[in-house]
């Protein structure tokens, strides 16, 4: 049992998926004296669903899958379900021609390649279940030391732990991880829901991130288009949760200072000092030293965090230029084509005046950052090549996306060091970097954090 009193005053920084779910899980365990502070004027973080002509669209998170168990916790807590439009997609080449790269009947010359891919997929599934047992546990605690400790990706999320030296391989870039296991072709499956969703390129991102987000069952749900959406957008999940909590987030809360002393936490919010017993930080840890009385360990470790620059445009076309479905452009998901349009989404089936959304990455490790305006112009030109030119851009967003650490830092035990600081100075760390930057992983990590320490 936790030695933290049920009456403890708990401050949660951030009202995105991680912060709001932390409030929910605390409340379910009997901790009701919590306060959620949010800098913005809305909740949801990167689940951002603006409205256009009476319907909501996705500028951030788009969808979920049945293995999003923490998101389902929220649905049950609030009494709603995934009631949005059914999504589907197709593929185009750089000329804007529709292609179907995984259909052997339409690609007879690719049959040997597709058969080899199928064989490697089967091999990969077996490797993940055996050689890399424990790979899919939420969070990263112990991986660089060859062990796993956490909750299984099952509806019951049973507690599991064990030793597996092979897990150290997860620190390798995903390209290298696939190469040493002889399954290079599986990247052609994994790249769609990974790189196009803003999570970087396989030559730079540790395999741990790829596989904790896209464990085998989650990937198969994406492949089979077994998807969840929400009529009022993913942001509505967290709007409903915020409304259901006993203490809704306090919006427009500008935190300028956090000082930890005398076994208390003093938070300066909008010029006023508030006193708490504990603090849970779900806001980006990279910026924690800017307003916290950060110690040497916090400064050193959080300075190692890097992130992706992921740009989203919401636009309309002329009715005659409107696509009939969403499209992926695989050739633009390679590092040599960063800054180009990777995917564009059509959310509703019955409206050729609706907004569409484009997604592009504009940074890659070791290469110059592409300026925002340059990337925007490139994407608009790409839409012309796809035969779906934009008539008007209505919303645009450049996200601080997918905070993570590089392979060397991962292998050196970054996560073990940060996890070892949990609870020090009455401070707990959660949010994207502690698990993965999708809404379910961040919520699941908040669940685990509350279960471990409260």
Q: Can you say whether the dihedral through the CA atoms of 160, 225, 329, 376 is positive or negative?
A: negative
Half-sphere exposure of 121 (CA within 13 A, CB side): 15
CATH architecture of 307-404: 2-Layer Sandwich (3.30)
Q: Residues 28-86: pLDDT tens digits?
A: 999 999 999 999 999 999 999 999 999 999 999 999 999 999 999 999 999 999 999 99
> What's the pLDDT score for residue 1?
60
> What's the pLDDT score for residue 420?
97
For residues 384-402, average pLDDT: 97
Domain with CATH 1.10.405.20 in the chain: 101-223
Domain with CATH 3.30.70.1990 in the chain: 307-404
> What's the pLDDT score for residue 388?
98
73 vs 11, 67, 447, CA distance in Å?
Answer: 22, 11, 10
Task: Match 């993913």 to its residue by tokens.
Answer: 234
> What's the pLDDT score for residue 448?
96
Please, which residues have CB within 8 angstroms of residue 145's CB and are 6 or more apart in sequence? 168, 413, 416
Q: Residues 189-218: pLDDT tens digits?
A: 999 999 999 999 999 999 999 999 999 999
For residues 368-380, average pLDDT: 98
Please, which residues have CB within 8 angstroms of residue 123's CB and are 6 or more apart in sequence? 181, 182, 183
Q: Residues 148-168: pLDDT tens digits?
A: 999 988 888 999 999 999 999
Domain with CATH 3.50.50.60 in the chain: 10-76+230-305+405-453
Q: Can you say whether the dihedral through the CA atoms of 381, 384, 386, 392 is positive or negative?
A: positive
CATH architecture of 10-76+230-305+405-453: 3-Layer(bba) Sandwich (3.50)
- Phi and psi at 428, nearest 5°, equal -125, 145
pLDDT at 343 exceeding the cut of 70: yes
Give dist(CA 319, CA 48) in Å, integer. Answer: 25
Give dist(CA 383, CA 387) in Å, integer. Answer: 6
For residues 423-447, average pLDDT: 97
pTM: 0.96
For residues 343-363, average pLDDT: 96
> What's the pLDDT score for residue 109?
87
For residues 235-245, average pLDDT: 98
Q: Residues 97-123: pLDDT tens digits?
A: 999 899 888 888 899 999 999 999 999
For residues 412-431, average pLDDT: 98
Instruction: Report yes or no: 138 and 448 within 8 Å, Cβ to Cβ.
Output: yes
Tokens of 272: 């006023």
User: Residue 184, SS3?
Assistant: helix
Q: What is the CATH number of domain 101-223?
A: 1.10.405.20
- Kindly provide the residue ranges of all beta strands, DSSP E only, lying in 223-355, ordered along the sequence: 255-261, 264-269, 272-276, 278-281, 306-316, 326-328, 343-346
Strand partners, 148: 162
Please, which residues have CB within 8 angstroms of residue 252's CB and are 6 or more apart in sequence? 38, 39, 40, 41, 270
- Kindly provide the residue ranges of all beta strands, DSSP E only, lying in 270-417, ordered along the sequence: 272-276, 278-281, 306-316, 326-328, 343-346, 356-361, 392-404
What percentage of the chain carries pLDDT values higher than 90? 96
C-beta neighbour count of 177 within 10 angstroms? 22
Tokens of 65: 């899958």
CA of residue 130 relative to chain centroid, distance: 26
> What's the pLDDT score for residue 338?
98
> What's the pLDDT score for residue 154?
87
> What's the pLDDT score for residue 34?
98
User: Residue 255, SS3?
Assistant: strand
Mean pLDDT of the chain: 96
Instruction: Report yes or no: 222 and 328 within 8 Å, Cβ to Cβ.
Output: no
For residues 256-264, average pLDDT: 98
């Amino acid at each position: 049992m936790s030695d933290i009193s049920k009456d403890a005053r708990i401050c949660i920084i951030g009202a995105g998926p991680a912060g709001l779910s932390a409030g929910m899980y605390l409340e379910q365990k009997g901790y009701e004296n919590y306060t959620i502070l949010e800098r913005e004027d809305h909740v949801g973080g990167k689940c951002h669903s603006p409205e256009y002509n009476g319907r909501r669209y996705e500028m951030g998170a788009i969808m979920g899958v049945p293995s999003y168990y923490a998101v389902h916790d929220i649905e049950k807590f609030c009494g709603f379900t995934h009631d949005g439009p059914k999504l589907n997609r197709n593929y185009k080449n750089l000329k804007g021609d529709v292609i179907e790269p995984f259909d052997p009947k339409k690609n007879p010359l690719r049959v040997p390649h597709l058969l080899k891919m199928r064989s490697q997929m089967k091999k990969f599934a077996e490797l993940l279940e055996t050689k890399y047992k424990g790979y899919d546990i939420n969070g990263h605690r112990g991986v660089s030391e060859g062990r796993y400790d956490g909750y299984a990706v099952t509806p019951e999320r049973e507690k599991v732990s064990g030793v597996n030296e092979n897990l150290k391989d997860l620190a390798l870039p995903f390209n290298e991880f696939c190469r040493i296991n002889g399954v290079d072709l599986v990247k052609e499956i994994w790249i769609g829901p990974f790189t196009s969703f803003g999570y970087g390129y396989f030559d730079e991102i540790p395999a741990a991130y790829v596989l904790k987000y896209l464990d085998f069952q989650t990937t198969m749900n994406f492949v089979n288009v077994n998807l969840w959406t929400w009529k009022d957008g993913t942001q509505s999940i967290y709007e409903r949760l915020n409304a259901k909590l006993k203490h809704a987030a306090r919006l427009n809360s500008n935190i300028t200072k956090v000082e930890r002393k005398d076994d208390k936490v003093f938070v300066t919010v909008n010029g006023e000092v508030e006193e708490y017993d504990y603090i849970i930080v779900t806001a980006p840890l990279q910026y924690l030293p800017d307003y916290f009385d950060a110690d040497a360990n916090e400064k050193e470790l959080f300075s190692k965090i890097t992130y992706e620059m992921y740009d989203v445009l919401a636009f309309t076309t002329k009715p005659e230029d409107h696509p009939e479905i969403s499209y992926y452009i695989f050739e633009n998901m390679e590092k040599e084509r960063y800054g180009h349009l990777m995917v564009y989404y059509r959310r509703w089936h019955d409206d050729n005046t609706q907004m569409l959304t484009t997604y592009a990455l504009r940074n890659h490790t070791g290469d110059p950052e592409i300026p925002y305006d340059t990337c925007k112009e490139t994407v608009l030109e790409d839409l012309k090549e796809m035969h779906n030119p934009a008539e008007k851009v209505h919303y645009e967003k450049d996200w601080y996306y997918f905070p993570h650490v590089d392979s060397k830092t991962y292998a050196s035990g970054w996560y073990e060091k940060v996890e070892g600081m949990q609870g020090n100075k009455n401070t707990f760390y959660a949010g994207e970097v502690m698990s993965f930057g999708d809404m379910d992983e961040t919520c699941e990590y908040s669940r685990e954090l509350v279960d471990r320490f409260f």
